[in-house]
Amino acid sequence: MERRDANGGPRAMRFDTKLVHEGTRTHGATGDLVPPIHLSVTYDRFAQDPTRYYYGRGENPTRENLETCLAALEDARFAVAFSSGQAAGAAVLSLAPSGGRVVASDDVYSGTHTLFDLFRARGVRVDRTDLADPVAAAGALTDAVDLVWLETPTNPVMKIADIAAIAAAAHRHGAVVVVDGTFTGPALQQPLAEGADISLHSTTKFIAGHSDVLGGALVLDDPELRERLVGHRTAFGSVPGAFDCYLVHRGLKTLSLRVARQVSNARAVVDVLTASPAVGAVHYPGLPEHPAFTLAARQMSAPGSIVAFEYRGDVEALMRRTELFAAAVSLGGVRSLIEHPASMSHWSVPRAVRLAAGVTDGLVRLSLGIEDPADLVEDLTAALAVAAHAEGTRG
C-alpha cells in the first residue's frame, strides 16, 4: 500500500489494520471508500489493457480485492479465491500427478475424505497417517511423496500437528505442504510463517463469518504453483462470483473482533462443560490436559472457538433443549451452533475410520458465536442440568 515510513519505504500495516484496509483501493472519481462490486463478465478490449482483464472466469476486480486482502493477512504474495473450500481443495489435489502420492492427516474434514476417494480413483495414492504423532509423520514422509495434506486443528477433536516440523521433513523430500487451517483462520494461525507452502481456508467459516456465503481460498508465495492453481480454477470454472467475493471481504473486516469474542465464549463454555457431571472428556486445546496444549500455545495465538465433548446422555435430546445453540453443521459464524458429528458432519465417514479418529457416538461439537457469554452459559447449563436428572446420567 502507499503508506511510507520515515525512510520513504513502504510502511507495513499490522494484521487488524490490513483486515480493514487491504484490497479496498477504488479507482473511480467518486471517492467511495467501499469499492463497487464488479459484475461484468467481459471487458472492452480497447478501454484497458486486454491482457489484464479478458473474461470473468479468469479475471475479476472484486475477486482480486478479496485476494489482495487474504494474501496480505498471511504476508504472502498471492491468494487464489474459489467458489468453496472444496473447490480450493480439489485444485490443490490436482497438483498431485497421476501415479503420485499424497500423505494426509488421518482425521480430515469429511468433504476432504470424499475428494481423496475421487483422486484415488484417478490413480493418485493417498495415505492417511497420524501427522500429529511426530514418529508416524517421520515414517510416512519419503522421497516418493508429492503432497502433504495437513489439517490442524482437526475436526472435531482438535488434534494438533506441528506445522513447522512436518513442513521441514516434507521439504527434505521435495513435497509440497498444504495446511487446511479452516478451524482457526488467519487470525489465530499462520501456516506459511511455519513453513507450509499453501494455506487453505474454507472462507465459508471464520473468514466470511456470517454463515451466509460459501467460499474457499489458497494463500501462497510460489508463482509457479499459483499459475497451476489459477489454471485449474479457470479450466474447471470453480471461481466465486463477484457478490460472494464482496460478502466474504465484508465479513473479513471484523475477523479479529469476532474471533476474540468467540474464543472468550469458548473458554466460558468449557468451564461449564468441565464442571458438568453429564459430560466426560472435553476436547479443547486451551485445556492443560489437552495432549497438544504446549504445541497449540506455540503455534496458535489462541486455542480457537470449537469445543468437542463426550456427552453421557441422549445427544439428540440435548440438541433439542439448547435454545441459543442451533443444531446445525458448519462453524465459525456469529451464531453459536451445536452438532452431533456421528450423525451430522461425519455421517459419511466410515464408522471404523470415525471411531479411530476419536469421533465416538456420544461426541458433541460446539462452534461458539459472538453472543453474550452469560446467555450461552445459561442456555448450556440449563440443557445439561435437565440431562443429569431426566436421563439418569452418572454423577
Ligand X SMILES: *Cc1c(COP(=O)(O)O)cnc(C)c1O
**Site of interaction with ligand X (CB under 6 A):** 84-86, 109, 111-112, 151, 155, 180, 182-183, 202, 204-205, 214, 216
**Can 205 be counted among the known catalytic residues?**
yes
Specify the DSSP class assigned to residue 54. -
Asked if the bond preceding 134 is cis, omega within 30° of 0, the reply is no
- Is the Cβ of residue 342 or residue 387 nearer to ligand X in the bound state? 342
Separation of alpha carbons 347 and 148, rounded Å: 25
- Is the Cβ of residue 78 or residue 206 nearer to ligand X in the bound state? 206
State the catalytic residue, choosing from 18, 101, 205, 233: 205
Bridge-based pairing of strands 326-327 and 306-311 is unpaired
Using DSSP, state whether 117 is helix, strand or coil: helix
CB 340 within 8 A of CB 314: no
- Is the Cβ of residue 219 or residue 384 nearer to ligand X in the bound state? 219
Separation of alpha carbons 262 and 367, rounded Å: 8
**Can 53 be counted among the known catalytic residues?**
no
Residue 305: closest CA among 278, 323, 286: 286
Residue 198: closest CA among 182, 175, 180, 184: 180
Q: Which residue is nearest to ligand X (CB)?
A: 85
Residue 213: closest CA among 14, 66, 28: 66
- Is the Cβ of residue 305 or residue 393 nearer to ligand X in the bound state? 305
Asked if the bond preceding 156 is cis, omega within 30° of 0, the reply is yes
State the catalytic residue, choosing from 57, 125, 250, 253: 57
**Can 109 be counted among the known catalytic residues?**
yes
Residue 119: closest CA among 145, 93, 141: 93
CB 119 within 8 A of CB 149: no
- Is the Cβ of residue 336 or residue 393 nearer to ligand X in the bound state? 336
CB 202 within 8 A of CB 193: no
Which H or E element spans position 79? strand 78-82
State the catalytic residue, choosing from 109, 246, 284, 311: 109
Separation of alpha carbons 10 and 349, rounded Å: 49
- Is the Cβ of residue 154 or residue 265 nearer to ligand X in the bound state? 154
Separation of alpha carbons 312 and 387, rounded Å: 9
CB of 213 to ligand X, least distance (A): 9
Q: Which residue has the cell 471508500?
A: 33
- Is the Cβ of residue 36 or residue 111 nearer to ligand X in the bound state? 111
CB of 290 to ligand X, least distance (A): 19
Q: Which residues are catalytic?
A: 57, 109, 180, 205
